[in-house]
Structure 1
Amino acid sequence: MREPSSPTAVTGWDWTEEVWRWQPDREPWRPEMGGPSRCVAIELSTRHLETAEAYDFWRETVFHGFSADRRNGETGAFRADARALISPRAEFAAFRSKGLSGGRTHSGFRSDGNADLTIGFTIAGNRRHSFAEERHLARPGEVYLYDASAPSQVDWDDHQGFYLALRRSDVEAALGEVPASLDRLLAEITASPLLPFLRAQLSLLSRDFGALDLRQKEAVFNGSVELALSLLGGLPTGARADGGARHRRGLMVAAERFIIENLANPRLDAAMIARATGCSRATLYRAFFDHGKTVADQIRIARLLRARHLLEKSPPQVTISEIIAACGLDDPSHFSRMFRRQFGLAPKDVKGVRHGRETEDRSA
């Protein structure tokens, strides 16, 4: 991450002028600067700014496709921070902020051309959104939508959350024309079996943002975009065929996450995954076939990788039988044969190897 030479709300970014004309340490972003040519990361915070300038800097530099209201000085000191990924096809941000309000106007849309559709999740605080004749309230733990192409008004309490903003062209390719009613679209998204997977994926990206390098962030980010577009493509509003290639890419992301979260269940199979992700088994098989995989192989490899990780870290008193049971398996002999074929080693050869090193490191 590059760091600014003087106090600013942009505390770190990772691109050169060849990648994106906007250089945060020089000036605020303007529409004519466009976006980056590849995925980039940026971190922002008001912690180094004077109280008097923090909100104006945030208002003028951070928000795109949204105009924050001017703030009454009596409302107290403004504090906010955010971490974001921005690419040619989407944006992700995890944020925490004092309360604020603002909106979108036709003139704002004409000025910047931003027509993104944002799918967001609140962690703390309430979000009130007025759109045409509709009124939405997103409480902690709930999903919300924001359509930057249409006039609206938003009012946040002190809040925390994360969102994924999708480019209009991708949304329309997946969904068709975005419905005039956000109420209907929000209800369908809330009912989608893929929504919990999207929330979990973005939550992990938010939690582990600082621990991942850009390549790792981008991999999770791109998977989240495919998952979100798959979710939209499978909605009744979209009237899209369940078997489309884009839908299957997102379905693959959701299925892999479900497998990882349910490895301990001995009944984990294609039927269970298909039910959880809201698709037919035939579509699930096709999604894996698109990637040169099978559902059974994916489950088997995931279990073996989990078992090896647990074996390496296990203390002496934990038995191999206990470890394989934690991975959804119940036949030690069959497990040993699979393990040897996969890794060229017997389970007993790796048991405790990392536990021993960690113990030595702690006692050194």
Structure 2
Amino acid sequence: MDPEVFDTRYLPRSQQFEAWKQWYGRVFDTVPLRPELQGFEAKHLTWRLDGFAFSRVTAPGVSGRRSRTLIHRDSIDHWVITLTKRGTHKVLAGDIVAEPAPGVPLVQSLADPMESERSDYDRVQLYLGRDDFREIAAVMDAARDVPLDSPNGRLLAEYLLLLERSLPTLEQGAAQGLKDALRAMVAACIKPTADRIVEAATPIRASRLELVRRAVERRLRVSALDAAMLCKEVGMSRSQLYRLLDGEGGVARYIQSKRLVAAYEELRDGENPKPISAIAFELCFPDASSFSRMFRRQFGISPSDVRGASFGRLIQAHTSNDRLLLKPESFGDLIRFL
């Protein structure tokens, strides 16, 4: 699924912030935190689906304000769940001041006046239309403006990161199932009950797998990586971890598979000069021959064949097919009809 893209980097530097300001203008008034800097290189990607939208934004520091005047002028009232990946984020909503740390979700409503301030940042946001998510309205409204700094909030954060990774390859026909999973997952993480946790079993498992996947990929080159280290890293018991990865072939097999995938990516890079033996050693394989045997078992091709194909340009990296919109519809128009 292709996102809608707004990217100021392709505009003259003198026009970049004004374009960004106009893009958000019907929803937020924006001011750069460092107006003395020339240029404002920022990028906004939005995936629109039935009843909800997901966005990723990378931008310099900025302050924003959604005033009552803007709300009366444009009555978008979606809920939005924000996850800051990099940078600081401070929000003022009525008498509430919230400063969620990176990795901590925050629920807000565009029906409320608010002010925010961000340093240079990278964030993802999930917009939920009230009509399509009315079954969880009470849950969403009760959670407004309070950072979800809890184990369940961490699960929701992992699910948002999983969405970010998965949406570019999502088939359009899967949107309805995703909406149902979102509804269940958000309710279970914000206001968990036994019934909600059962209903959200599938997305909860997906979030836990994402948590483990990212922990494994951070430690791929650590030879001591094992079940005990993973349990400590992700906050799971040994039995929970083994149940979670049972369908993946077990903990040791899962770690090995991720290391082999990392090796494949290095080998398919025609500009990577490392010898195959060095790649195997860095990824904690005991020797080149056992690495080659495991590699062929997983991919049906030898490491040297992958390396040769990459040099021969037979294996091509995926290229982005984002659509560059220099004069797109506004952000307000983009999310209005969820």
Fold equivalence (TM over 0.5): yes
Count of aligned pairs: 296
- Superposition deviation, residue 43 in structure 1: 1.4
1:45 to 4, 8, 29: 8
Residue deviations 1:285-331, cap 9 Å, x none? 55456xx5334443222222333444566999966553322112225
TM-score normalised to the size of structure 1?
A: 0.58
More off after superposition, 327-336 vs 85-94: 327-336
Q: Which has the higher contact order (CA 8 A, sep 6+)?
A: 2
Distance 2:154 2:83 in 1: 15
Q: 5+ unaligned residues in a row in structure 1: which ranges?
A: 1-37, 206-211, 359-364
Q: Which residue of structure 2 aligns with residue 245 of structure 1? A: 202
Identity %: 18
Looking at structure 2, the residues matched to 43 and 316 of structure 1 have their Cα atoms a distance apart, in angstroms, of: 32
Distance change >3 Å, CA 326–CA 229, structure 1 → 2: farther
Distance 2:77 2:291 in 1: 53
- In the other structure, the counterpart of 2:321 is none
Greater Rg over alpha carbons, structure: 1
Structure-2 separation of matches of 1:304 and 1:51: 42
TM-score, normalisation: structure 2: 0.61
Matched letter for residue 22 of structure 2: F
Q: How far apart, CA to CA, are the structure 2 residues paired with 1:87 and 1:45?
A: 20
**What are structure 2's unaligned runs of at least 5 residues?**
314-338
Provide the residue aligned with 1:118 in structure 2.
81
Corresponding residue for residue 303 of structure 1: 259
Q: Of 33, 46, 53, which residue of structure 2 is paired with 1:85?
A: 46
Distance 1:279-1:150 versus aligned 2 partners, 3 A rule:
farther
The one-letter code sitting in structure 2 at the alignment partner of 1:57 is: Q
Q: Which of 296, 299, 303 is the equivalent residue of 1:340?
A: 296
Q: CA deviation at 1:249?
A: 1.5
User: What residue is the counterpart of 1:17 in the other structure?
Assistant: none
Q: Once the 2 structures are TM-superposed, how far is the Cα of residue 154 of structure 1 from its aligned partner? A: 0.7
Against the structure 1 CA distance between its residues 270 and 186, is the aligned structure 2 distance closer, same or farther, given a 3 Å change threshold?
same
In structure 1, the partner of 2:94 is 132
Check conservation: 1:116, 1:147, Cα contact below 8 A. Answer: yes
Asked if the contact 1:316/1:352 (under 8 Å) is kept, the reply is: no
Provide the residue aligned with 1:293 in structure 2.
Answer: 248
Q: Deviations over 1:173-218 (max 9, x none)?
A: 89981374656544337983775x579779x97xxxxxx9954899
Indicate the SS of the match to 1:161.
Answer: strand
- The answer to whether the 8 A contact 1:90-1:165 is kept is yes
Cα displacement string for residues 101-150 of structure 1 (whole angstroms, at most 9, x for unaligned residues)? 312549938964533232132745x64422232112468x5756351155
**Partner of 1:163 in structure 2?**
124
SS at match of 2:56: strand
- 1:1-40 matches, cutoff 5 A: 40=3
1:324 matched residue in structure 2? 280
Tell me whether 1:57 sits opposite 2:22 in the alignment. yes
1:192 corresponds, among 154, 165, 187, to 154
Distance 1:259 1:227, change over 3 A: farther
Q: Equivalent residue for 2:109? A: 148
The alignment's C-alpha RMSD in Å is: 5.2
Is 1:194–1:254's contact at 8 Å kept on the other side of the alignment? no
Q: 1:268 to 1:174 in 2, by over 3 A?
A: farther
**Does the 8 Å contact 2:162/2:207 carry over to 1?**
no
User: What residue number does 2:223 align with?
Assistant: 266
